Structure 1
Amino acid sequence: MGERLTLPDWSSLAAQADDTVPLLETALLIARDEYPGLDADLYDTLAQSHAEHLRPEIEAIEEWPLKMAAINRHLFDELGYTGNHDEYYDPRNSYLNEVFERRLGNPITLAMVQMEVARRLGVPLDGVSFPGHFLVRLPVDDGILVMDPFNGGRPLGADELRERAKPHLGGDIPDDNALMHILDPASHRAILIRMLRNLHGVYAERDQWDRAARSADRVLKLAPEQPEAFRDRGLAYLKMDYQHGARHDLARYLHLAPDAADAHALRERLVELNTSRSRMH
């Protein structure tokens, strides 16, 4: 028997360096909120079995891009991992246990599977927190190879990347320097925060405010001073009629981001909350 996979404790994560936050383990910790009986070992073993199936083939290949092509072929063509185009906002797409089980996911969870398998095979695949859809990147001799895990690991050229970035940059097309900056590797912490923000958005859209608040709360476990997470949790608390928590979180948001675009509206909301509290007293 190998060692059992130990999930981290939520209280330990804020103090860790961005890239020592364990990616697979923390993603499964996020999933355990929704699936309390989750068996983390099962998914660790599954990732390892994907890697071991590939190991002889990967070790016989010299070049990184060809190694990556073999990994993608196994994951996406043979095992059938794919982007959930039909139900993109299904929360199950953000829970790694469901992605391993259903072989359906969103860009960030499919990237996690891809990265986990690649890294176990010694292939240095990183995530890219690209605007819109999350991507992955691999160093190659003359630069980087960028791939789209939501669409079978398809390689993306510079022109397509510029077009994809354009709507998120006010219609501007990024030059080479701007594009390379956008394509910087994402830290483990940044990847997990983006996953949680996706979950928050899905649950807020569904009016599932307890789960929306939980998602924002988990962001704060990873990044205790992130302004948007205080705002998101505070607004979810408001919907849940938990006014004490809402007042605290919205005040903290306004302290951390006094010049935010929504600061004026939230200041007025906070005044209303404090006024109603005074009346109650």
Structure 2
Amino acid sequence: MRGLLAVVLSVVVSTVGARNTHSPQLATFPRDIQKVLSLPEDQIDTGLAALTFAKEIYPYIDVAAYSSKIDELAEGARQFIARHGKHAPDSVIRALDSYYYKVWGVQYDKAPNGRATQENYFINGILDRKLGQCVTIPMLYMAIAQRLGYPVYAVVAPEHNFVRFVDPTLREQNIELSGSAGYSSDAEYAYKLNISQRAIQSGAYLRTLTRRQYLCQLLQQNAIVFATRGDLDRAIFYFEKAYEIDSKDVYAAKNLAMLYHRKGERATTEAQAERCRLNSNRYHVIAEELGWTSDPDANTRGSR
């Protein structure tokens, strides 16, 4: 099952014209987000970063309290792994998967409106509800694993996220977390999600993201919320920062192409409209050159 960034692209396109709110004075991020963005790779805690970004959308959340919830999950997982796992990575993965799904009880949100439910895109939502989709289920899993000291990192595919346990002794490193834990090879993902060789070679999809590169995903979730609220300038500002951090991020490029197109349609002068058209075209070309997958179901349509 899928549902993430590309799903929200259609939401951006359909709702971004609801209001023409502009914020040209915006030049910085909130202080806490800026602090996270300035951290070096080895100081980025994925769970804390996700909570810090989520607080901008949910101002009422207590970041420290939610971070303690992640600590509690990590401690519970540590004890479970000690009882049921071994030191080998494959044993650790099986034990962690069992703890996450069977003990804590995380579930994929299969509701008809699940893909449109905002809580399914932010870590506080899954901590509150034990429900998520392929944005937050891997996000929280990765946050727990990192606090346990395991080398688990995010991987992006068309309309999908999963994680990878990076260990040279482990043959099956991909951990598929939508619905239940399991393994899928890169070749399976490439076929099922219609990923071209070009997109793999460019790093658009199936690339192991660093902790810092994963911040791009967090930035984009906030940007999508701003876009749906009609704040194009703020959304563009966030997507451009995401692209600055990771120029192989095909979602940032594709969203920027769409948002600049929308902004150009609402420009008040021809000069503004032309600048927006140029930017839209530039990012569209970048997305296409990276290997943007426009139809992830092309290889499997009708086979389910």
Letter paired with 2:239? V
Query: Quick one: which amino acid aligns to residue 45 of structure 1?
Result: S
> Aligned equivalents of 2:169 and 2:286: distance in 1?
42
Amino acid at match of 2:72: S
Aligned partner of 1:149 among 177, 180, 183: 177
User: Does 2:178 align with 1:168?
Assistant: no
What fraction of aligned residue pairs are identical, expressed as a percent?
18
Within 5 Å, which residues of 2 pair with 1:183-222? 183-197=206-220, 200=223, 208-210=229-231, 214-222=234-242
Once residues 47 and 130 of structure 2 are traced to their aligned partners in structure 1, the CA distance between those partners, rounded to angstroms, is 16
Q: Deviation per CA, 1:187-215: give whole Å up to 9, x if none.
A: 234323234445655775xx5323x6544
Over alpha carbons, which structure has the higher Rg? 1
Mark the runs of 5 or more structure 2 residues left unpaired by the alignment.
1-29, 289-304
**TM, length-normalised to structure 2:** 0.65
Q: Does 1:83 align with 2:104?
A: no
| TM superposition shift of 1:48 | 0.6
Q: Partners of 1:145 and 1:199 in 2: how far apart?
A: 29
Give the structure 1 partner of residue 17 of structure 2: none
In the other structure, the counterpart of 1:99 is: 126
Amino acid at match of 2:160: H
Q: CA deviation at 1:94?
A: 0.8
Give 1:1-281 correspondences, 5 Å limit: 9-17=32-40, 20-59=43-82, 61-86=86-111, 87-138=114-165, 139=167, 141-157=169-185, 160-165=188-193, 167-169=194-196, 182-197=205-220, 200=223, 208-210=229-231, 214-224=234-244, 228=253, 230-231=256-257, 233-235=259-261, 237=263, 243=268, 250=276, 253=279, 257=283, 259=285
Task: Kindly provide the amino acid, as one letter, of the partner of residue 36 in structure 1.
Answer: P
Number of residue equivalences: 247
The TM-score with structure 1 as length reference comes to 0.69
**Once the 2 structures are TM-superposed, how far is the Cα of residue 100 of structure 1 from its aligned partner?**
0.7
> Contact 2:47/2:70 (CA < 8 Å) preserved in 1?
no
1:40 shift after superposition = 0.4
Higher relative contact order (CA 8 A, sep 6+): 2
- Separation in 2, partners of 1:56, 1:88: 33
Question: In 2, distance between residues paired with 1:179 and 1:77?
Answer: 37
8 Å CA contact 2:107, 2:179 repeated in 1: yes
Partner amino acid for 2:46?
A: L
Cα distance in 2 between the residues matched to 1:17 and 1:232: 31
SS in 2 for 1:114: helix
CA contact (8 A) 2:134 2:178 kept: yes
Report if aligned partners of 1:213, 1:232 keep a CA contact under 8 Å in 2.
no
Q: Is the 8 A contact 1:135 1:148 kept in 2?
A: yes
Relative to structure 1, the CA distance from residue 233 to residue 224 in structure 2 (aligned partners, 3 Å threshold; closer, same or farther) is: farther
Contact 1:90 1:202 (C-alpha < 8 Å) held by counterparts: no
- Offset of 1:29 from its aligned partner? 2.4
Distance 2:184 2:177 in 1: 11
Residue 159 to residue 46, structure 1, CA distance change in 2 (3 Å): same
User: Secondary structure of 1:154's match?
Assistant: coil
